Chain A
Amino acid sequence: MSQDLSTNIAQARRWYWQRLSAMVLAICVLIHLAVMIYAVQGGLSAAEILGRTQGNWGFALLYTVFVIAAAVHIPPGLSNIAVEWWRWTETSAVNFARLFGLLVLLSGLRAVYAVVVP
């Protein structure tokens, strides 16, 4: 990592990425909840869910955006927790949080792939 993670500009950037991703997440969560409340009325089974999602590129796009926004949103907050509660240094906290964000991204995209691709 060539850039200094604790500079003011890096902090300001992390903050606005967190805020932008929060806005995206808010929209995704609302759509997710609305679909869920509508869909659950007919009962909830794996077959029914997969019947709705498989081959549906609209859902694929929505949840891909959802996963990316979550992966962007989590690291700044997690690194703050690591610094303030676990007393880690700024650099190791940010690197750890980014790795965790990557894990969220990969496992999230894998889950989207699993429910969309027939």
Chain B
Amino acid sequence: MQKNLSVKVWRGKQSGAFSDYLVPRHESQTVLDVVTYIQRHLEPTLSYRFACRVGMCGSCAMTVNGQARWTCRTHVAKVAMNNQLEISPLANLPVIKDLATDMSVFFDKWAQAKGQFKGSTTRHEPFAKVLPESVERRAANAGIECIGCGVCYASCDVVNWRPQYLGPAALNRAWTLVNDERDINQTERLRAVAGDAGCHVCHTQGSCSERCPKKLSPTTSIAGLKRASARAAVRGKL
């Protein structure tokens, strides 16, 4: 292991430039450790976002050597090339400053995709019984661990080509609710996720599933939405 790591970090907003830093190398060092070292010791005005540091909150995603990654769980040893790192903000999102992006569009699209649960019962009624082994419950389970980090959204070519596209995370969220038998907003949700801003423009390239740090498969969820909305369209319910 080399003594120092050579790091390029994006400074600025949408336009800006990379600055160079030398960071001491440690065992089991994560990319977030590197960014934190730079801010605490070399560049106090560096802006970046993190919270939990243990892969739960989804705040610290950045582009590391060209790929979107969660930086708190990404070891330098795994991603450094020739002892070098290049760290920039997530793609497909407006940059606020340095490594911090504006995630509002990303989360607004979750709302547009009807990502809110809407039930028909109140807290005064008994719990719904959902069979754990039912097909729907298992489909929902497969997508439900999303931490909203935006890695899939930043890795998606279709988001780049069609800025209106809801993106993998929002559609994955919608798919978990399509499979929630308690939800009563199904037709409205399918209407929201079909069409040229929704699931039908996905090319099934699978970058989202390839890069998802939680190993979810938004591609599978989107394929499910395509089938569900095609069925609804055939029945004239879309």
A83 within 8 A of B: yes
| Bitwise interface map of B from 142 to 178 toward A, beta carbon under 8 Å scored 1, else 0 | 0000000000000000100110000000000000000
Which of the segments A10-18, A26-34, A58-66, A107-115 contacts the partner chain? A10-18
A53 within 8 A of B: no
B38 within 8 A of A: no
Beta-carbon contact of B196 and A11 below 8 Å:
yes
Q: Given contacts A6-B195, A9-B238, are A14 and B162 in contact (CB under 8 A)? A: no
Which of the segments B19-27, B47-55, B225-233 contacts the partner chain? B225-233
Rounded to whole angstroms, the CA-CA distance of A84 and B156 in the bound complex is 13
Residue of B nearest to A15 (CB): B200
Question: In the complex, which residues of chain A have a beta carbon less than 8 angstroms from the beta carbon of B195?
Answer: 6-8, 10-12
Out of A8, A83, A85, which one reaches B191, CB within 8 Å? A8
Beta-carbon contact of A14 and B200 below 8 Å:
yes
B contact residues, total (Cβ < 8 Å): 18
Beta-carbon contact of B161 and A11 below 8 Å:
no
Beta-carbon contact of B162 and A12 below 8 Å:
no
Residue of B nearest to A79 (CB): B196
B198 within 8 A of A: yes
Beta-carbon contact of B162 and A11 below 8 Å:
no
| Bitwise interface map of B from 199 to 211 toward A, beta carbon under 8 Å scored 1, else 0 | 0110100000000
Beta-carbon contact of A13 and B233 below 8 Å:
yes
Beta-carbon contact of B233 and A16 below 8 Å:
yes
Q: Tell me the interface secondary structure of chain A in the complex.
A: helix
Rounded to whole angstroms, the CA-CA distance of A10 and B195 in the bound complex is 8
B135 within 8 A of A: no
Question: In the complex, which residues of chain A have a beta carbon less than 8 angstroms from the beta carbon of B203?
Answer: 80
Query: In whole Å, how far is A42's beta carbon from the nearest beta carbon of chain B?
Result: 40
Beta-carbon contact of B201 and A9 below 8 Å:
no
Beta-carbon contact of B196 and A6 below 8 Å:
yes
Out of A6, A7, A12, which one reaches B229, CB within 8 Å? A12
B234 within 8 A of A: yes
Beta-carbon contact of B200 and A84 below 8 Å:
no
Beta-carbon contact of B238 and A84 below 8 Å:
no
Question: In the complex, which residues of chain A have a beta carbon less than 8 angstroms from the beta carbon of B198?
Answer: 8, 11
Beta-carbon contact of B238 and A8 below 8 Å:
yes
Beta-carbon contact of B234 and A16 below 8 Å:
yes
Rounded to whole angstroms, the CA-CA distance of A80 and B203 in the bound complex is 10
Rounded to whole angstroms, the CA-CA distance of A71 and B178 in the bound complex is 33
Some 9 contacts from A to B, beta carbons below 8 A apart, are A6-B195, A8-B191, A8-B229, A9-B194, A12-B195, A12-B229, A12-B232, A19-B230, A80-B203
Binding site for B on A (CB under 8 A): 6-16, 19, 80, 83-85, 90
Binding site for A on B (CB under 8 A): 158, 161-162, 191, 194-196, 198, 200-201, 203, 226, 229-230, 232-234, 238
Which 5 pairs of residues, A with B, have the shortest CB-CB distance? Answer: A8-B195, A84-B161, A8-B194, A12-B233, A11-B195
